[in-house]
């Protein structure tokens, strides 16, 4: 019989649901405990790691990059395969520590000007309504796969942020699917982008998209060589924006001329971060919110009766569903966390999916309640790496469900959901729903 630690680590587990029973037992047994890594899919992953289960200890570790580094071993449990791969991922802001992380974060923060953010918010509301209208008007039997419907809003928003032509936006859907879903056969080699009508940049990127090898596997998309189409596109996009900058966030980053702007390499890695990490949280958070409402129809009625609850409901959706299951840090020295001795070089993995259900912080944490004050959830992280796009993420959740409530009296499950095979991303690939119109 598998141990709780084995269940938590196995990506197959998550195809049937988040293992909350095991997470609860582990969290209540100790704030920090050891999880052995094991071979999955024929790959030997590593020696194991210290898992951090409780809310307070997760926040403690994330606030102290001097003790728990993002850079030493990067932020995925599984170590990069080669020193060259590790050097590559360290170029991403996601895998940096201060002061270099602070420099890049400052550039990004300056580019999210009030005018730029206001313009994005207006577009988010407009696009959410169009997406919902298209879902309803295009369904002859009043059913749809809401996971596919919901995926359109994050890629539209990211296209606006990055200055990507909307004809090319589904490249980001494919890139994010391959990177986050590399453990899932449906996503590992996904290619849904139709080259028809795309820009020359997109066509050139599609021309270098990798294909499965003789054994049917794809190159590791978490390496530069494993996702050459993304970098080819980012390189050409940077050149285009230097020639003809727009009003998008990425143009603003590149146009900073005080000696503290982005180099082309930094732009390419920032593009990867936005296109992949900036996509997946909302791409799974919006269907996760719908899943919560399908199983708690009385909460739908509460929102219908009082739309002022929507901002708080967005936080509750992110807490209850928790799109990103965990992130890794590496101990920079011998230290202790909650009384547990941790050696220099040990992996330390913080479990957001457990911390967001910690009864020390959230009363009756397994209950989904749109009136709850859930603002202390950790789905956007904490500390120096707290998500810069959190306000846009919440805006997308609010806009989508506001648009749905405008058109629908109720929404119902129309089949079983299909979940992502991943021990990193709490994902829904397919979510059939039906509805009653107003």
Kindly report, residue by residue over 7-63, the tens digit of the pLDDT.
Answer: 999 999 999 999 999 999 999 999 999 999 876 766 667 899 999 999 999 999 999
pLDDT at residue number 260: 63
Phi, psi (deg, nearest 5) at residue 34: -90, 135
Q: Tell which residue, 285, 294, 292, has the closest CA to residue 322.
A: 285
Distance CA 204, CA 182 (A): 23
Distance CA 261, CA 104 (A): 8
Characterize 290-309 residue by residue with b for buried, 16 or more Cβ atoms within 10 angstroms of its Cβ, and e for exposed. bbbbbebeebbebbbeeeeb
Contacts for 7-11: CB closer than 8 Å, 24+ residues apart = 8/35, 8/51, 8/423, 9/35, 9/36, 9/37, 9/38, 9/40, 9/423, 10/40, 10/423, 11/40, 11/183, 11/184, 11/421, 11/422, 11/423
Question: Cβ contacts of residue 21 below 8 Å, gap of 6+?
Answer: none
SS3 category, 306: coil
| Encoded tokens for 165 | 């032509």
pLDDT at residue number 213: 85
Q: Is the peptide bond before 75 cis (omega within 30 degrees of 0)?
A: no
Q: Is pLDDT above 60 for 371?
A: yes
pLDDT at residue number 41: 66
Cα R_g (the chain), whole angstroms: 21
**pTM of this prediction?**
0.95
Distance CA 424, CA 320 (A): 16
Bridge partners of 349? 51, 328
Judged by average pLDDT, the poorest of 187-201, 291-305, 367-381, 402-416 is: 187-201
Kindly report, residue by residue over 123-156, the tens digit of the pLDDT.
Answer: 999 999 999 999 999 998 999 999 999 999 999 9
Q: Tell which residue, 162, 393, 144, has the closest CA to residue 285.
A: 393
The answer to whether 431 and 287 are in contact (CB under 8 A) is: yes
Confidence of residue 396 (pLDDT cuts 50, 70, 90): very high
The answer to whether 153 and 147 are in contact (CB under 8 A) is: no
Q: Tell which residue, 390, 425, 422, 384, has the closest CA to residue 71.
A: 384
Give the mean model confidence (pLDDT) for residues 181-197: 89
Per the model's pLDDT, the better-predicted residue between 401 and 78 turns out to be 401
Q: Which helix (H) or strand (E) holds 331?
A: strand 326-331
pLDDT at residue number 205: 94
Q: Is pLDDT above 70 for 345?
A: yes
pLDDT at residue number 259: 55
The answer to whether 302 and 309 are in contact (CB under 8 A) is: yes
CATH of domain 4-430: 1.10.630.10
Name the DSSP class of 218. P
Q: Tell which residue, 190, 262, 283, 276, has the closest CA to residue 233.
A: 276
Mean pLDDT of the chain: 92
User: How many Cβ atoms are within 10 Å of 226's Cβ, its own excluded?
Assistant: 16
Give the mean model confidence (pLDDT) for residues 260-289: 86
pLDDT at residue number 311: 97
SS3 category, 179: helix
Confidence of residue 246 (pLDDT cuts 50, 70, 90): confident
Give the mean model confidence (pLDDT) for residues 91-105: 92
Confidence of residue 88 (pLDDT cuts 50, 70, 90): confident
Judged by average pLDDT, the poorest of 91-100, 107-116, 317-326 is: 107-116
Give percent of the chain above pLDDT 70: 97
The answer to whether 409 and 300 are in contact (CB under 8 A) is: no
pLDDT at residue number 257: 55
Give percent of the chain above pLDDT 90: 71
Residue matched to tokens 């509460």:
302
SS3 content of the chain, % helix, strand, coil (to 5): 50, 10, 35
Per the model's pLDDT, the better-predicted residue between 240 and 23 turns out to be 23
Q: Is pLDDT above 70 for 261?
A: no
């Amino acid at each position: 019989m598998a141990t709780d630690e084995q269940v938590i680590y196995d990506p197959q587990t998550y195809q049937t649901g988040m293992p909350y029973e095991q997470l609860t037992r582990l969290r209540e047994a100790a704030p920090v405990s050891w999880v052995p890594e094991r071979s999955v899919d024929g790959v030997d992953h590593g020696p194991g790691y210290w898992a951090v289960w409780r809310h307070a200890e997760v926040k403690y570790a994330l606030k102290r990059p001097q003790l728990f580094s993002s850079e030493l071993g990067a932020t995925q449990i599984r170590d990069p395969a080669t020193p060259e791969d590790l050097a590559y991922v360290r170029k991403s802001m996601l895998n940096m520590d201060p002061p270099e992380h602070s420099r890049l974060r400052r550039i990004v923060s300056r580019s999210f000007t009030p005018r730029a953010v206001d313009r994005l918010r207006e577009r988010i509301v407009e696009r959410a309504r169009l997406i919902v209208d298209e879902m309803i008007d295009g369904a002859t039997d009043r059913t749809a796969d809401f996971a596919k419907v919901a995926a359109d809003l994050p890629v539209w928003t990211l296209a606006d942020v990055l200055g990507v032509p909307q004809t090319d936006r589904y490249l980001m859907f494919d890139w994010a699917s391959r990177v986050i879903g590399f453990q899932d056969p449906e996503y590992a080699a996904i290619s849904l982008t139709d080259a028809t009508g795309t820009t020359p940049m997109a066509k050139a990127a599609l021309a270098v998209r990798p294909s499965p090898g003789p054994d049917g596997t794809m190159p590791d998309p978490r390496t530069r060589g494993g996702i050459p189409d993304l970098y080819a596109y980012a390189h050409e996009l940077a050149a285009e924006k230097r020639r003809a900058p727009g009003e998008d966030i990425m143009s603003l980053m590149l146009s900073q001329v005080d000696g503290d702007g982005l180099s082309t390499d930094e732009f390419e890695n920032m593009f990867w971060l936005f296109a992949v990490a900036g996509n997946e949280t909302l791409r799974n958070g919006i269907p996760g919110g719908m899943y919560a409402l399908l199983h708690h129809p009385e909460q739908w009625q509460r929102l219908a009766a009082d739309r002022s609850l929507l901002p708080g409901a967005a936080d509750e959706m992110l807490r209850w569903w928790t799109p990103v299951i965990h992130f890794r840090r590496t101990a920079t020295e011998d230290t202790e966390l909650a009384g547990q001795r941790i050696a220099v070089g040990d992996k330390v993995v913080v479990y957001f999916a457990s911390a967001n259900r910690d009864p020390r912080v959230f009363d009756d944490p397994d209950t989904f309640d749109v009136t709850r004050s859930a603002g202390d959830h950790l789905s956007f992280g904490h500390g120096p790496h707290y998500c810069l796009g959190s306000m846009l993420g919440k805006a997308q959740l609010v806009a989508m469900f506001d648009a749905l409530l405008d058109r629908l009296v109720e929404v119902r499950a129309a089949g079983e959901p299909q979940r992502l095979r991943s021990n990193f991303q709490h994902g829904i690939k397919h979510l059939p729903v039906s509805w009653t119109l107003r």
